[in-house]
Copies of this chain bind each other. A is one copy, B any other.
Amino acid sequence: MCLTDADLNQITKETAMTNPVCVILGAGPGNGLACASRFSAEGYRTALLARGEATLRALEADVPGARGYIYDATEQTSAEQVFARIRSELGPPEVLLYNASTRDFGDIEHTSPDAFEQAWRVNSLGCFLAVKQVIPDMRQAGRGTIVIMGATASLKGAAGFVAFAAAKAAQRSLAQSLARHLGPQGIHVAYVVIDAVVDMPASRTMLPGKPEEFFAQPRDIAESVFFLTRQPRSAWTFELDLRPFGESW
């Protein structure tokens, strides 16, 4: 038997189509990679969305069956085009994990209007744009899960996190509105409040003296994210906090 490239393409596509699709928006070496690995191990085809091509290539190499898509979370055109490609290449998403975030430190006097705006665009507007893309398919299927990765800052505006906290507060409010609107349609929206420093190379560099147990492990966070997608719909969780056992809070 001799298969042409077109045949192979078709087979790959059909295989893809039989497995559920998980879109991870804001894919990086921490929670993004861990969640992609977790969903991949469960048979999901994962679409990894990030701004940088090098990041995507590295993740694709690490996660079996993953496909990377260059994506700017804050641009509606990017959202429309990339989600159309995902639908066409992998199939309609069953799971959307919104993991795009920012790291903005500074009080109002050390934060520019642009930085204030950019934090909101990545954490809040970007989530709004992506969710709009997946609603039609999820509603048609009568199912689907949207998990949004939040932070403790969504609950408290500290002096030195004026941009990040306001952006995360908007994101959490958005998640609530989505959960209330989409729940009755069978679409599960959950908000994960990470109350920890996640263990990543960058975190270790930034906090050199800390022991391992100071950090939240991405693989452990991924476990809870995956669990949320498995909850039966008579008992869904909207909000879940995650922190290491020794965290002071």
A residues apposed to B, CB below 8 Å:
76, 107-109, 113, 116-117, 120, 124-125, 128-129, 131-132, 135, 153-154, 156-162, 165-178, 180-181, 183-184, 186, 188, 196, 199, 213, 215-217, 220-221, 223-224, 227, 231-249
- The reply to whether B223 and A181 form a contact with Cβ atoms under 8 Å apart is no
Chain A's interface: helix, strand, loop or mixed, by majority? helix
What 9 pairs across the A-B complex have the smallest Cβ distances?
Answer: A157-B176, A169-B173, A220-B235, A159-B181, A157-B173, A159-B180, A170-B170, A157-B177, A162-B177
Question: What is the oligomeric copy number?
Answer: 4
The interface residues of chain B lying within 8 Å CB-to-CB of A237 are 224, 240-242
CB distance from A118 to the nearest CB of B (A): 11
- The reply to whether B109 and A128 form a contact with Cβ atoms under 8 Å apart is no
* Distance in angstroms between the alpha carbons of A173 and B108 in the assembled complex: 12
- The reply to whether A109 and B129 form a contact with Cβ atoms under 8 Å apart is no
* Distance in angstroms between the alpha carbons of A132 and B163 in the assembled complex: 13
22 contacts between A and B (CB under 8 A): A108-B128, A109-B181, A116-B125, A117-B125, A120-B125, A120-B170, A157-B180, A162-B174, A162-B181, A166-B170, A166-B174, A180-B249, A188-B245, A213-B233, A215-B234, A216-B235, A220-B232, A221-B235, A233-B244, A235-B242, A235-B243, A237-B241
